[in-house]
């Protein structure tokens, strides 16, 4: 506060609410001194917390009002952009979790299909080496049973993948609906300040 001694300027506090995945409220300070030098958020907060004396003088904000408005709009835009990026990261995390879950869900079925395919290949080798028609007939029956089981597992895998696709599309639709941010802001106050 020492660097502001003998200086004066403007300080504004605004409330910003962003509704997307959740509802977030922000208090945004903006201010500058009489030379036009902007005040960072920490300095604004410190000014706000200083013991003050209220003057009865009406001070005309004049041309400084547009400058203050521009600063507030920049703060709003930066906060909204940051919130949007946080929401995007949140979505990416959820999508990654979903992808891992879907992968973990299909791996056992894929392993079963590979195992059955290996069994079919083994039976085909044995069938070629069979010495009697009875043995070949038994291998044929075993092969058909395994091929039917493999078809059933492939359908199960396709159904599982279709379900995952549907769930992913629903997740994306929900995200698209939620990420459309609704932002409202409300000026709380604007004061003229002087540090003595």
Q: Which residue has the higher pLDDT, 142 or 177?
A: 142
The verdict on 122 and 85 lying in the same domain is no
Range of the domain at 144: 92-179
The verdict on 72 and 15 lying in the same domain is yes
The verdict on 85 and 106 lying in the same domain is no
pLDDT tens for 97-120 read 999 999 999 999 999 999 999 999
The verdict on 111 and 79 lying in the same domain is no
The verdict on 145 and 162 lying in the same domain is yes
The verdict on 75 and 103 lying in the same domain is no
Q: Which residue has the higher pLDDT, 134 or 9?
A: 134
Burial call 102-123: b when 16+ CB within 10 Å, e when fewer: beeeeeebeebbeebeeebeeb
The verdict on 61 and 34 lying in the same domain is yes
Mean pLDDT on 137-165: 96
Crossing angle of helices 133-179/64-129, nearest 10°? 180
Helices vs. strands in the chain: H and E counts, helices first = 3, 3
pLDDT tens for 27-70 read 999 998 888 888 888 988 888 888 777 776 666 666 577 888 88
The verdict on 175 and 98 lying in the same domain is yes
Q: DSSP character for 62?
A: T
- Residue recorded with tokens 């922000």: 26
The verdict on 130 and 190 lying in the same domain is no
Put simply, whether the predicted model's pTM sits higher than 0.85 gets the answer: no
The verdict on 111 and 50 lying in the same domain is no
Q: In total, how many domains does the chain have?
A: 2
């Amino acid at each position: 506060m020492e660097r502001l001694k003998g200086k004066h300027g403007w300080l504004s506090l605004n409330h910003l609410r962003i509704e997307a995945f959740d509802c977030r409220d922000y208090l945004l300070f903006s201010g500058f001194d009489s030379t036009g030098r902007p005040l960072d958020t920490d300095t604004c907060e410190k000014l706000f917390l200083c013991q003050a004396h209220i003057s009865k003088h009406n001070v005309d904000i004049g041309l400084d009002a547009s400058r203050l408005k521009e600063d507030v709009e920049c703060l709003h835009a930066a906060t909204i952009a940051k919130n949007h990026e946080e929401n995007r990261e949140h979505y990416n995390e959820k999508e990654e979790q979903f992808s891992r879950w879907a992968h973990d869900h299909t791996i056992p079925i894929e392993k079963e299909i590979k195992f059955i395919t290996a069994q079919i290949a083994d039976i085909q080798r044995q069938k070629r080496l069979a010495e009697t028609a009875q043995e070949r007939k038994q291998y044929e029956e075993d092969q058909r049973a395994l091929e039917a089981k493999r078809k059933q597992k492939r359908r199960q895998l396709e159904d599982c993948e279709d379900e995952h696709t549907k769930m992913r599309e629903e997740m994306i639709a929900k995200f698209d609906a939620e990420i459309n941010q609704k932002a409202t802001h409300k000026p709380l106050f604007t004061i003229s300040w002087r540090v003595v």
